[in-house]
Amino acid sequence: VARRRQIYEGKAKILYEGPEPGTLIQYFKDDATAFNAQKRGTISGKGVINNRISEHIFTSLSAIGVPTHFIRRLNMREQLIRQVEIIPIEVVIRNVAAGSLSKRLGIEEGTQLPRTIIEYYYKDDALGDPMIADEHIACFGWATQDEMNDIADMAIRVNDFLSGMFAAIGIRLIDFKLEFGRVWDGDYARVILADEISPDGCRLWDIKTNQKLDKDRFRQDLGGVEEAYQEVARRLGLLQPDE
């Protein structure tokens, strides 16, 4: 088997050169990190589950007209994606107070927000992904105003779709993170959804019990991490009943 050229290794994924120009292979690892990689561990089977969950979500989003980098799943841990120029901004969408919002502003976890909040963070591990405003994005040229409008529109559409999708399987979408990238068509760039959407980057609570079904189980040492990810996949109909 020819070894593929590795393009990038992140905390939870590896990107390899793809079979065609303009494509990459995204490999999902079992590694997990939290608190800007100060806490490290592995969640056995996470890569396989996240590959499936992210495939399902990106395929569904594509079907409602949200452009994404996803092309197709190749195997248990890999998917073929379009190569993009990553926009160095993490977009966080919040429906319910939790995590850093609760901590920073003293709002009790689980408080329903009167309106959805979109936040931006500068993607820089060395700086610990600091929160930024539109002003910083414009000032430092990380994205154009048109691109930011597209990103905010897509973030709201993704939130509306995912909130409904999860509600239908008894899960409350508390908050989640998105990343976007540029694809060039001559001189013209278009923004598409990139990265992954999985319990690694979402807060998902059982509607009835408030049980956490996401990476907070790892962050907070709650146990049952693998089982929680599997439960999300099972409710989405992505696992056999005995898996």
Minimum distance, C-beta of residue 53 to ligand C5P, in the bound complex (Å):
14
Residue 227 has φ and ψ, to the nearest 5°, of -60, -40
Q: Which residue has the tokens 């408080």?
A: 111
Q: Which residue has the tokens 């999708």?
A: 165
Nearer of residues 18 and 201 to ligand C5P, judged by Cβ: 201
Answer yes or no whether residue 212 interacts with ligand C5P by CB under 6 A. Answer: no
Are the C-beta atoms of residues 128 and 142 closer than 8 Å to each other?
A: no
Answer yes or no whether residue 99 interacts with ligand C5P by CB under 6 A. Answer: yes
Contact region for ligand C5P (CB under 6 A) — 21-29, 63-71, 80-88, 96-104?
96-104
Which of 138-150 are b and which e, b meaning 16 or more Cβ less than 10 Å from the residue's Cβ?
A: eeeebbeeebbeb
Number of Cβ atoms within 10 Å of the Cβ of 120: 21
- The encoded tokens of residue 199 equal 């319990």
Minimum distance, C-beta of residue 174 to ligand C5P, in the bound complex (Å):
7
Contact region for ligand C5P (CB under 6 A) — 52-60, 175-183, 222-230, 233-241?
175-183
- The encoded tokens of residue 32 equal 């997990």
Instruction: Tell me how many degrees the CA angle 121-219-28 measures, rounded to the nearest 5.
Output: 75
Answer yes or no whether residue 46 interacts with ligand C5P by CB under 6 A. Answer: no
Answer yes or no whether residue 177 interacts with ligand C5P by CB under 6 A. Answer: yes
Of 49, 92, 132, 171, which lies in the binding site for ligand C5P, with binding defined by CB under 6 A? 92
Measured at CB, which residue is nearest to ligand C5P?
99
Nearer of residues 47 and 201 to ligand C5P, judged by Cβ: 201
C-alpha 58/C-alpha 86 separation (Å) is: 17
Which residues of this protein are in contact with ligand C5P, per CB under 6 A?
A: 90, 92, 98-101, 129, 175-177, 201-203, 215
